[in-house]
Amino acid sequence: MEISELGEFGLIERLAKEISVKNATTVRGIGDDCAVLAPTEGMQTVVTTDLLMEGIHFDLTYVPLRHLGYKAVMVNLSDVFAMNAEPRQVTVSLALSSKFKVEDVEELYAGMRLACEKWGVDIVGGDTTASLTGLAISITALGEARADDIVLRSGAKPTDLICVSGNLGAAYMGLQLLEREKLIYDEQVAEARKSGSKEQMELLKDAQPDFSGKEYILERQLKPEARGDIVATLRKAGIRPTSMMDISDGLSSELMHICKQSQTGCRIYEERLPLDYQTAAMAEELNLNVSTCALNGGEDYELLFTVPLAQNDTVSALEDICVIGYITEPDKGCALITRDGGEHSLKAQGWNPLKA
């Protein structure tokens, strides 16, 4: 169905039918000029927003719309968890070109609803408009936490331990794999067109790459998970991080943000970087240094945080958390200790959307 057949309000009404309110703080969701929220006494609200642009942040050649919707919400929830807060509501704004049908938008929203349902989050509003250049997605997430629970980037202190959840570099390897297969496919299409082979063109319509043994790195790229489970684990263990942020632009970039805002330096150890087997295998296949990928790849959406040295035994015993280094005085700078004992300055080589 063409979106023009429904119009803006008809589309919103159709999408809203599948959305129900889950949080007591949501008084009124979709349907009025504004959502109505009732803040909980003694709590503070955190707000974050992300803008995703087709051709910059995602490629619909290989990103399914349902996965895209799921990811668009998760990357915002990840920011809320990185503040040691609980997500409650999101708003969703879309700019759509004429190539998208009603069913496409429903598929996108199906992924968004799935992400929201996982963490008990309400979709409470947003906006839709036309686009001349493809798809744009803007999501704002709201969360809440007690004032003394909120964790900023600026609280790290010398001797604090540097910790990360999960493993690093997998999402970047998944992206490299998808981009490689897209390039191969485009080259095959160009060759078929050049030769004028209709038979070859028909075969290519249904062609699918073999991703056997690489499912994990693909999932990390296409369907990332916000690590609210790690926040819950830390809370249960009685650990309140001194600083924290999620790894969206690469470990090196994020760690340097923490050090800059905390006015500290750091040392991390290459041998302690957590890596999955598929990440290492894919890096070897592409002739890439796996440590470089782990440091600069981005889009892992794992949590990077610091804890006091006195909590070393407690945090080291927690599942899916690795201690990778420590915070230093600012004059020591930010450095990586390599496997052979060498010391190299960290560089922010991760994702920078506005870099020339």
State pLDDT tens for residues 8-20: 677 777 777 777 7
- Yes or no: say if 258 and 156 are a contact pair by the CB < 8 Å rule: yes
Q: How does pLDDT run across 133-158, given as a tens digit for each residue?
A: 899 999 999 999 999 999 999 999 99
Q: What pLDDT does residue 112 have?
A: 97
Q: What does the alpha-carbon distance between residue 141 and residue 77 come to, in Å, rounded to a whole number? A: 7
Distance (Å) of CA 105 to CA 2, 136, 280: 11, 12, 36
Q: Which residues contact 199 (CB under 8 A, 6 or more apart)?
A: none
Query: pLDDT class for 354, splitting at 50, 70, 90?
Result: very low
Q: What pLDDT does residue 353 have?
A: 54
Nearest C-alpha neighbor of 172 from the set 345, 353, 354, 350: 350
**pLDDT over 70 for what percent of the chain?**
97
DSSP 152: -
Q: What pLDDT does residue 245 have?
A: 97
Residue 86 tokens read as: 């609980």
The CATH superfamily of 153-174+219-345 is PurM-like C-terminal domain (3.90.650.10)
Q: What does the alpha-carbon distance between residue 120 and residue 116 come to, in Å, rounded to a whole number? A: 6
Q: What does the alpha-carbon distance between residue 41 and residue 254 come to, in Å, rounded to a whole number? A: 33
- pLDDT beyond 60 at 356: no
- Yes or no: say if 203 and 162 are a contact pair by the CB < 8 Å rule: no
Looking at per-residue pLDDT, the higher value among 5 and 43 belongs to: 43
Q: Where are the domains of the chain?
A: 3-146, 153-174+219-345, 176-216
- Yes or no: say if 304 and 162 are a contact pair by the CB < 8 Å rule: yes
Residue 77 tokens read as: 């929830």
Looking at per-residue pLDDT, the higher value among 13 and 227 belongs to: 227
Q: Which residues contact 226 (CB under 8 A, 6 or more apart)?
A: 74, 75, 77, 78, 80, 81, 119, 246, 301
- How much is the mean pLDDT over the chain? 92
Mean pLDDT of 106-129: 96
Q: How does pLDDT run across 165-190, given as a tens digit for each residue?
A: 999 999 999 999 999 999 988 888 78
Q: What does the alpha-carbon distance between residue 202 and residue 187 come to, in Å, rounded to a whole number? A: 15
Topology adopted by domain 3-146: 60s Ribosomal Protein L30; Chain: A; (3.30.1330)
Q: What does the alpha-carbon distance between residue 224 and residue 309 come to, in Å, rounded to a whole number? A: 30
Looking at per-residue pLDDT, the higher value among 60 and 350 belongs to: 60
Half-sphere exposure of residue 308, counting CA atoms within 13 Å on the CB side?
A: 5
